[in-house]
Amino acid sequence: MATIKEISRNRVHGGEQLRIQHHSAVLSCDMIFGVFLPPQAASGPVPVLYWLSGLTCTDENFTQKAGAQRLASKLGLAIVCPDTSPRGTDLPGEHDDWDFGSGAGFYVNATREPWSAHYQMFDYVTEELPAIIEANFPVTDQRSVSGHSMGGHGALMCALKKPENYCSVSAFAPICHPSETRWGIKAFSHYLGEDRNEWLEWDATQLVCKTDRQLPILIDQGADDEFLGDELKPGSLEQACICTHHPLQVNMREGYDHSYYFITSFIDDHLRYHARALGLLK
């Protein structure tokens, strides 16, 4: 197991918010993640919520803006926030667009060069990172997963492709059908190539039809989200869930947009949802 390095540690709501740097063998680069440890972690292992952030984000957006530590401290829930792409690499065009390359790894395992050498974000967030977390911090192997936008889709993929690894899944304003929307098409054609059959393995609306263990899905979606119609398309996922009898709850939130102001408004509901699945709340 590679060594990890503590970059910063801030006390917050009685717990500790850490930033950790490490070398990722899966991504072939150094990465930074955030981990919040609630006060309960001082006396025994606690379960973990993995939070996957959206386009342009780093490990810090959620930790600084969501206000999740307040309730997580009461619940006894650790929160791990990975970065959104490999870092420190300099592939052709990697840093040119905000919706592709750095800050936009889409949580897939790239199969096309030059991306495949580093952009293995699915294996990173579902395998390498949990192994590092569970080897280095006082946590159990009870995991839940959530995320926002691109990271909301990432959370859905984690739960749909590896349901045995998670106790619960939720998402805020997730991209629901990336193989049919602009951000997703752009990313998938570079990371996965032009054969759209390969994309189906990385599209939540498609994956709902394939999963054999149905983890219920909770989604909150702002009704005034500027990306709702063109990029997110929760209706596609809803339709697929109806067809496959996959349990899904979508809360449309009147007046809310795509920002962290929306996330912070409903994060407590999601924390309680995961806490119940993780046995922290009845």
Q: Are 106 and 121 in contact (CB under 8 A)?
A: yes
Structure tokens at 54: 């959206």
Segment contacting a copy of itself by CB under 8 A, of 7-15, 46-54, 161-169, 213-221: 7-15
Q: List the catalytic residue out of 149, 168, 236, 265.
A: 149
Place of tokens 């709501």: 13
Residues 173-202 that bind a copy of itself (CB under 8 A): none
Catalytic residue list contains 153: no
Shortest distance (Å) from residue 264 CB to a copy of itself: 7
The residues, ordered by sequence, that sit 6+ positions from 278 with a Cβ below 8 Å of its Cβ are 47, 77, 142, 144, 167, 168
65 binds a copy of itself (CB under 8 A): yes
Among 2, 5, 7, 10, binds a copy of itself (CB under 8 A): 10
13 binds a copy of itself (CB under 8 A): yes
Q: How many CB atoms lie within 10 A of CB 137?
A: 18
Segment contacting a copy of itself by CB under 8 A, of 112-120, 163-171, 192-200, 254-262: 254-262
Look up residue 256 and give its amino acid.
Y
Q: How many CB atoms lie within 10 A of CB 110?
A: 23
Q: List the catalytic residue out of 153, 258, 270, 274.
A: 258
11 binds a copy of itself (CB under 8 A): yes
42 binds a copy of itself (CB under 8 A): no
Among 106, 191, 262, 273, binds a copy of itself (CB under 8 A): 262
Residue 70 or 161 having the CB closest to a copy of itself: 70
Q: How far is CA 2 from CA 23, 31, 36, 61, in A?
A: 7, 12, 20, 26
Look up residue 45 and give its amino acid.
P
14 binds a copy of itself (CB under 8 A): yes
DSSP lists the bridge partners of residue 23 as 30
Catalytic residue list contains 258: yes
Q: How far is CA 37 from CA 32, 54, 104, 149, 232, in A?
A: 16, 22, 27, 25, 32
257 binds a copy of itself (CB under 8 A): yes
Q: What is the set of active-site residues?
A: 149, 225, 258
- Applying CB under 8 A, the residues found at the interface with a copy of itself are 10-14, 17, 64-65, 67, 69-70, 222, 224, 255-257, 259-262, 264-265
